Amino acid sequence: MLQHVKARIRSKRENLAFKYMPRIADWIMRRVAMSAREQFGNESQSVGVLIDSCVRTHAVTHEEAWIDTGTVLWGGVHPINTGYIARVPVHAADNASKEYRDICYLGSLIALARFGTMKFFTSSELISEQLKHPPARFRTVGYSDYSILDMVEITSLDGERYDFITMGKLFEGDYRLAEAQQARIEANSDELHKAIMSCFKHQTHSR
């Protein structure tokens, strides 16, 4: 009897949290966003932030996985594998690494973008870089995948570049698309680009 009462209380608490906590969280984050905009000193202009490939990777919090439920006999004769697709977290809840603590800040930054305090951007070269990798690494692809960046718009500063279409046949073989992109970036004559690259010396951080 006592366990039944506890179960009903727990179920009621979970239902209330599911119904009201998102609204409470939105209200709190809206207040935080308004306060942050006042501190930036310009309430009419959002702060622009460039979202690189590393941030996109960390923003993928859940992935689609096949959960195996064992083998059963179909028709009582033929063995078949059974299971189902589920959304599973990329990181464990008890993850204590420095990287995971940094990732947890993304939620607050995305909330600031949702309420207009920040505005997220990407670039044609970042898009080109990401297209050379499996799509699920940077964004939601499957039905059960989830990226918290899905909640905000990310605008390219200079359009899009589809190297895999425009240069795919030309650069088949050893001279891969990544090398073509690296050569293009290194040939960039922009003074700000040169100044930034001088800080990295001989390290390969041009993108």
> In degrees, to the nearest 5, what angle opens at C-alpha 145 toward C-alphas 149 and 166?
70
Query: How many Å is the Cα radius of gyration of the chain?
Result: 23
Q: Which one-letter amino acid corresponds to residue 145?
A: D
Quick one: pLDDT at residue 174? 40
Tell me, what DSSP letter sits at residue 170? T
Q: What's the token pair of residue 49?
A: 């932030």
E strand intervals along the chain: 47-50, 60-74, 78-89, 118-122, 146-147, 154-156
Task: Give the model's pLDDT for residue 42.
Answer: 59
Q: Which pLDDT band, with edges at 50, 70 and 90, does 121 fall under? A: very high
Residue tagged 């500063």 (tokens): 157
Amino acid at 112: L
What pLDDT does residue 164 have? 61
Contact 154, 51 (CB under 8 A): yes
How does strand 118-122 pair with strand 47-50?
parallel
pLDDT at 175 over 60: no
The larger pLDDT score, comparing residue 15 to residue 70, is at: 70
Query: Which residue type is seen at 76?
Result: G
Tokens found for residue 96: 């204590």
Assign 23 a pLDDT band (cuts: 50, 70, 90). confident
Mean residue pLDDT across the chain: 79
Q: Give the range among 1-5, 55-59, 108-112, 140-144 with minimum mean pLDDT.
A: 1-5
For the residues 114-130, what does the mean pLDDT come to? 87
pLDDT band for position 87 (cuts 50, 70, 90)? confident
Query: What is residue 13's predicted lDDT score, i.e. its pLDDT?
Result: 80
| 75: helix, strand or coil | coil
Q: How far apart are CA 68 and CA 70, in angstroms?
A: 6
> What pTM, to 2 d.p., does this model score?
0.68
pLDDT band at 173 (very low <50, low <70, confident <90, very high): very low
Identify the pLDDT of residue 38: 67
User: For 80, phi and psi rounded to 5 degrees?
Assistant: -130, 150
How far, in whole angstroms, is CA 121 from its chain's centroid?
Answer: 13
**Percent of the residues in the chain that have a pLDDT greater than 70, as a whole number:** 82
Q: Which residues pair with 89 in a beta bridge?
A: 62
Helix (H) or strand (E) holding 205, with range, is none
